[in-house]
Homo-oligomer: A and B are copies of this chain.
Amino acid sequence: MDRIRRNERLAAMTRILVESPNKIFTLGTFCELFGAAKSTLSEDIDILRGVFAQFRLGQLDTVTGAAGGVRYRPIPAPEDAYRCVRDLAQTLAAPGRVLPGGFIYMADILAMPDVVERMGTIIASQYYRAEPDFVLTMETKGIPVAMMTAKALGVPMVIVRRDSKVYEGPAVNINYLSGSGNRVETMSLSRRAVREGQRTLIVDDFMRAGGTARGMVDMMREFAVTVVGVCVLMTTQEPQKKRIDGVKSLLVIDDTDESSGQASIRPAPWLVAAAEKARG
């Protein structure tokens, strides 16, 4: 193999680091791949760190210690996170998205990989320190955003099902209160999906009263798993008192108007505050 120049190493390292967010790569891995000395690679990483910071492309960290190395986290700048969420709010507030019953049509948005990936990175950025072992969601609409959150955190996703399935083996079922009508429903999780003592981040697309999330928290208690956070893409302002505490959301719906077909949607206050603080 020809000698590899710095230019080429930087491009290849970027591609490799970005593909596996939150994964620690030892310097040795890159030494071997590029046939370069550790000191050279340390310089490379310093350059990359500067580039990522300058163009607000995420964060490159050097992790010290025995399991040390370099790791990429796609953490957006607070202003960029705010702007993304504000744009999404405007899209969802377009006329015609309010359906009978006051529901908002967002299935199309929830299946656009670029939008969902941006939302996933914003959610993940709030939970790196909590070090979840997996992301938990309930089928169906929340799966894409939970998947992209899991990707950014570098952990698996686990899906709670509405019924136990023959192809998932023995399962734990629990009942929970769903919707504002207080219907009792069942959710099911495969016995082998998670292990006792793990930590989880619960992610879902939508929350009104919080019954589904409450059910997932109760389910995790059955499995002796610690819930490090609950984050949803969108929550309604009312009821203010949810069935669960400490919920974070990216968007807040104040009101839906069925006659105009329009909803009033805004970025959550914490995103606004973070963007203002970053502006100084």
Contact = CB atoms under 8 A, between A and B. Distances in A.
Interface stretch (A84-92, A143-151, A247-255, A270-278): A143-151
Interface stretch (A154-162, A212-220, A236-244): A154-162
Contacts of A159: 107, 111, 140-141
A6 B16 CA distance: 19
Interface of A: 6-8, 10-16, 18-20, 33, 47-48, 50-52, 54-55, 57-58, 99-101, 103-108, 111-114, 116-117, 139-141, 143-144, 147-148, 150-151, 154-159, 161, 166-169, 190, 192-193
B8 A51 contact: yes
Nearest to A48: B11
A6 B8 CA distance: 10
Contacts of A57: 12, 15-16
Nearest to A10: B11
B150 A147 contact: no
A253 to B, nearest CB: 13
Given A47-B7, A57-B16, A168 B105 contact: yes
Given A11-B47, A143-B143, A166 B99 contact: yes
A217 B51 CA distance: 47
B156 A51 contact: no
Nearest to A158: B111
